[in-house]
Structure 1
Amino acid sequence: MHAAAALLEFANVAYRYPGGNSGLAGCSLAIEAGTRNALIGANGAGKTTLFQHANGLLRPNAGIVRYRGQLIGYGREGLRQLRSEVGLLFQNPDQQLFSASVREDVAFGPLNLGLDAATVRRRVDEALHAVGMDDFSDRPVHSLSFGQKKRVCIAGVLAMQPRLLVLDEPMAGLDHAMRGDLLRVLDELHARGVTLLLATHDIDFAYAWADRIHVLAAGVCVASCASTELPRHAELLTGCGLRVPAVIRLCGALARNGLAFGNGAEPRSVDALVGLIDQEKES
């Protein structure tokens, strides 16, 4: 993808933590506006470090980060503007929640933008409604479940009305029902034009959900591709200590045994493959 088409671009970004550990080692990748992106990599690959560069929490030791074609400004005004458009959701909601009540926490960001009270109230109400937490607005944050805290964190980010939402392992710690609820929220945001970038260890989910997949290893992006192209990178995934999506392995096994189902694009989930097999039996 040409840099001019990128909403967010990392170009040869390197970062070493004060203790000496390397977080990124010349990492380059681009996020196109309006897309759903999955960032995958083993523990320690640099995913969280990359995300903290996305909205200026960390500043590169070398290389550059561009947002909407412009270099990120690390002064107070530059960071305020960036964080009003790039929302970051941490893996652990307790790192992000610090106000006494749900409403106060969601209102914190918009208030810091200097918005008037009526606008803040409207944004908070809309954000809480988007994540299904309307009835929890006056609850103490500490009384919420883990899944509810994650929703409040998302609401706090949504109240800033970001163009890009960055989520670090958003499915971690959620049961099946809560994962479904979160996916519906993400789908609604994407339908509104919000660009999504999330890190996940669930390679099957990444393959089924994302438009593009970015693979990190040892602080470097070793592959960025359309999700439909991921089967070509099976060997690279294995070399990075990652599992090849189950549906890719199943389709390969079927093909080796002379069985192929459907025409055109390969299915990107086991459920989709089962549907093709059922259609084949009926025809």
Structure 2
Amino acid sequence: MTRSADDLLLELAQVCFRYPDGSRGLNDCSIAIRRGSRNALIGANGSGKTTLFQQCNGLLRPQSGVVYYAGEAVDYRRSGLRQLRSKVGMVFQNPDRQLFSANVLEDVSFGPLNLGLDIATARQRVSAALQAVGMTAFADKPVHNLSFGQKKRVCIAGVLAMEPELLILDEPMAGLDHAMQEDLLAVLENLQARGITLLLATHDIDFAYAWADQIHLMVAGRCSASLPAANLATAGDTLSGAGLPLPGVIELQCRLTKLGVLPSDAGPRKISDLLALLGTHQGNGMPHFERMI
């Protein structure tokens, strides 16, 4: 079976999956990921995010429904899965689940060599991947001596060395301090600029709103809503129904609009953008913020 949309990279169509103990992972789940886009998957623990990810690269197989990649139904034979996993890379939440070699260079080299590439090509890919995540200087360092954030970057490098079209990250910001999060954000920006499609899971609605092009909401094993992140301000009922709040910047903007500090059409997606907007409007004759509170 095929799909005809040229810009559609990955699609799950009415996928269902139950685990051997009878618990449901996905329940008639449909989701579409477009080429070159940044996608945030949000939802409570147990909503099916990790199960969905494992369907995306063939670690799990639908019991009903279809997974499409680049318009073609996934082939679950060994050769088909090998091809799929060369295009869809996944970074787990805990990097220690993904790192197993003695040093960084060996770990990042494993994927390209396992693809059967020659040594020169593998080395070129590994060098480019380490440079992309800012870990070139750590190539010979033992993996167990790395910080948590550095381990995550090495995991990303190991996937990048496979030259994927889609990179999936399960809770990439978990366990990182602010500086490490900023470093990882810079890495993600670099990857998207190179044309890699990004799909990540997060519990942080503020981060999802600031970063993503598209937000996909998981509830009880189903993608209950997919919408442009810029439209999240009008999705309060959808979020509250899933037990999620509106992003803080939206709530603050609404209050400032009611006070006459900001115009109703302002749409900052980060606190830093909102502060910059406040300064602009105060300079243009809008009421001074401190006088309004």
Q: TM-score, normalised by structure 2?
A: 0.93
The residue number in structure 1 matching 2:288 is: none
- Measured after TM superposition, the shift of residue 260 of structure 1 is 2.4
User: 2:28 is matched with which residue: 26, 49, 72?
Assistant: 26
Matched, 1:121 2:118: no
The amino acid that maps onto 2:191 is L
Q: Secondary structure at the match of 2:173?
A: coil
Matches within 5 A, 1:92-241: 92-241=94-243
Residue segments in structure 1 that go unaligned for 5+ positions in a row: none
- Measured after TM superposition, the shift of residue 265 of structure 1 is 5.2
Q: Secondary structure at the match of 1:91?
A: coil
How far apart are the structure 2 equivalents of 1:24 and 1:202?
A: 22
Cα offsets for 1:117-146 (capped at 9, x unmatched): 000011111111111111111111112111
- Measured after TM superposition, the shift of residue 254 of structure 1 is 2.3
Tell me the matched-pair count. Answer: 281
Higher-Rg structure is 2
How far apart are the structure 1 equivalents of 2:66 and 2:119?
A: 37
How far apart are the structure 1 equivalents of 2:272 and 2:170?
A: 26
Q: Is the 8 A contact 1:3 1:30 kept in 2?
A: no
Q: Secondary structure at the match of 1:183?
A: helix
Cα offsets for 1:61-108 (capped at 9, x unmatched): 111100000011111110110011111000000111111111111011
How far apart are the structure 2 equivalents of 1:134 and 1:140?
A: 13
Q: Secondary structure at the match of 1:157?
A: helix
Q: Secondary structure at the match of 1:64?
A: strand
The residue number in structure 2 matching 1:270 is: 271
The residue number in structure 2 matching 1:55 is: 57
The amino acid that maps onto 1:266 is G
- Measured after TM superposition, the shift of residue 272 of structure 1 is 1.1
The amino acid that maps onto 2:226 is S
Q: Secondary structure at the match of 2:235?
A: helix
How far apart are the structure 1 equivalents of 2:165 and 2:55?
A: 16
Q: Is the 8 A contact 1:8 1:65 kept in 2?
A: yes
Q: Is the 8 A contact 2:262 2:281 kept in 1?
A: no
- Measured after TM superposition, the shift of residue 259 of structure 1 is 3.8
How far apart are the structure 2 equivalents of 1:38 and 1:118?
A: 36
Q: Secondary structure at the match of 2:126?
A: helix
Query: Over aligned residue pairs, what C-alpha RMSD do you find?
Result: 1.3
- Measured after TM superposition, the shift of residue 3 of structure 1 is 6.6
- Measured after TM superposition, the shift of residue 166 of structure 1 is 0.5
- Measured after TM superposition, the shift of residue 264 of structure 1 is 4.7
Q: Is the 8 A contact 2:112 2:162 kept in 1?
A: yes
Cα offsets for 1:209-256 (capped at 9, x unmatched): 111100000011111011111111111111101121001111222233
| Deviant stretches of 4+, over 4 Å | none
CA change 1:164–1:7 in 2 (3 A) is same
Q: Is the 8 A contact 1:3 1:9 kept in 2?
A: no
How far apart are the structure 2 equivalents of 1:111 and 1:264?
A: 53
Matched, 1:282 2:279: no
CA change 1:71–1:136 in 2 (3 A) is same
Residue segments in structure 2 that go unaligned for 5+ positions in a row: 285-293
How far apart are the structure 2 equivalents of 1:199 and 1:165?
A: 12
